[in-house]
Amino acid sequence: MPPIRDIPAFAEPVYVSKPVMPNLEDYVGGLTRVWESRWLSNSGNEHKKLEEQLLAYLQTPHLSIFNNGTTALTVAIHSLRLQGEVITTPFSFPATTHALAWNGIDPVFCDIDDSSMNIDPGRIEELITSRTTAILGVHVYGVPCEVEKIQAIADRHGLRVIYDAAHAFGVGIGETSIGNYGDISMFSFHPTKLFHSAEGGALTYRDENLRDRINLLRNFGIKNEHEVIMPGINGKMNELSALMGQHVLVLVDQEKAKRKKIREQYQSELKGVEGLRLQQRCSDVQTNDQYMVVRIDSDEFGVSRDKVYDVLREHNVYSRKYFYPLISDYPCYRQLATADPGNLPMAAKVSSQVLCLPCYGDLQCEDVSKICAIIKSSRD
């Protein structure tokens, strides 16, 4: 390895992700349709089309699109009339727990599994009380939760199951698309995600009876011109985003294939480096390579995750500490009994080790090599 001082910084910043951009002329062509229709929101043609296309792509019985994933998740929780306590993971993006808080629910933090970094099913049951109404899992980095075990626990205790599938667009277990597990799954279409609509999100669900309720909650609870029947919110996706989504959707498989190659290159260049742990793939899971995460054990590697992050930054590489800090360490949650670090030893360890590296289709092979060299040389 060259000494770190001999590796020049990137001339332009390299971010952790870059959104897929459709061909501009194609998008403008679609915009002409929107202009002529003079219909910009409230279930227009583009909205209908995107919902149909996503329904086919995600292979779930029902799907409702939203203006973002956070509103969608908040509505999902509300639609199931959850109350009391919900068991969830502290190793996620803030929105996961915030969506519970906005529903007046007390989050209960459960430790995570060392290998999958998802909620540990072996630790869920001890957290169930008479107030528990659901389990909210997150398929972190697109790696599925242990869905069968979680469902069995939920069935034994009469609980609902919701998944934050914001990282899991296009993921499947065997032949089953990830959106078919639990009662409801939420997808985010933020530009940092594999599939996006500038901003957007969706809920997928199997129970047809949820459909009217979710769609009413998405639109202020307005049933018709004379009746507003529940305290809904504004969760509607506008036509410009719905059009964007259609144009990005056709590029998703290609982007996924490119990211797979990039991940494989990272894996091969970083393999065997002492103190670096790469994510293992399960054979029956179709992943989406939305993120390239590496775990750094400071004792074995020689320097800490934070040091590697700083050295990358000095070289104009913007890696991200997803997810640090833990949600249970935020001032708004740390007073909760289950936020005690003693309850979450694995989450604390993982959160201090993880680093997400740049991973997007346009990233060049030589850039990946250089990023790997910087990481390996950061011990100098």
| Footprint of ligand PLP (CB under 6 A) | 68-70, 92-93, 95-96, 138, 164, 166-167, 188, 190, 201
The residue sitting closest to ligand PLP, measured at its beta carbon, is 69
- Of residues 214 and 270, the one with the C-beta less far from ligand PLP: 214
Q: Which is nearer to ligand PLP, 69 or 107 (CB)?
A: 69
- The nearer residue to ligand PLP, 51 or 315, going by C-beta atoms, is 51
Name the residue nearer to ligand PLP (CB basis): 109 or 301.
109
Shortest distance in whole angstroms from residue 20 CB to ligand PLP: 15
- At closest approach, how far in Å is the CB of 108 from ligand PLP? 18
- What is the smallest separation between the CB atom of 371 and ligand PLP, expressed in angstroms? 22
CB of 370 to ligand PLP, least distance (A): 27
Q: Which residues make beta-bridge pairs with 135? A: 87, 161
| Shortest distance (Å) from residue 142 CB to ligand PLP | 10
Instruction: Identify which of residues 307 and 321 has a Cβ nearer to ligand PLP in the complex.
Output: 321
Choice between 17 and 286, CB closer to ligand PLP: 17
Say if strands 85-88 and 132-138 run parallel, antiparallel, or are unpaired: parallel
SS3 track for the chain: CCCHHHCCCCCCCEECCCCCCCCHHHHHHHHHHHHHHCCCCCCCHHHHHHHHHHHHHHCCCEEEEECCHHHHHHHHHHHCCCCCEEEECCCCCHHHHHHHHCCCCEEEECCECCCCCCECHHHCHHHCCCCEEEEEEECHHHCCCCHHHHHHHHHHHCCEEEEECCCCCCCEECCEEHHHCCCEEEEECCCCCCCCCCCCEEEEECCCHHHHHHHHHHECCEEECCEECCCCCECCCCHHHHHHHHHHHCCHHHHHHHHHHHHHHHHHHHCCCCCEEECCCCCCEECCCCCEEEEECHHHHCCCHHHHHHHHHHCCEECECCCCCCHHHCCCCCCCHHHCHHHCHHHHHHHHHEEEECCCCCCCHHHHHHHHHHHHHCCC
Q: How many CB atoms lie within 10 A of CB 66?
A: 29
Instruction: Provide, rounded to whole angstroms, the least separation between the CB of residue 100 and ligand PLP.
Output: 12
Tell me the closest approach of the beta carbon of residue 190 to ligand PLP, in angstroms: 4
Residue 63 structure tokens:
């799907």
Looking at beta carbons only, is 62 or 98 nearer to ligand PLP? 98
Contact 308, 354 (CB under 8 A): no
Nearer to ligand PLP, 117 or 262 (CB): 117
CB nearer to ligand PLP: pick between 117 and 372: 117
State the nearest-atom distance from the C-beta of 35 to ligand PLP, in Å: 26
Question: From the CB of 195, what's the least distance to ligand PLP, in Å?
Answer: 11
Signed CA dihedral, 42, 48, 50, 56: sign only? positive
Nearest approach, Cβ of residue 215 and ligand PLP (Å)? 18
Residue 262 identity = I
Query: Toward ligand PLP, which CB reaches closer, 70 or 265?
Result: 70
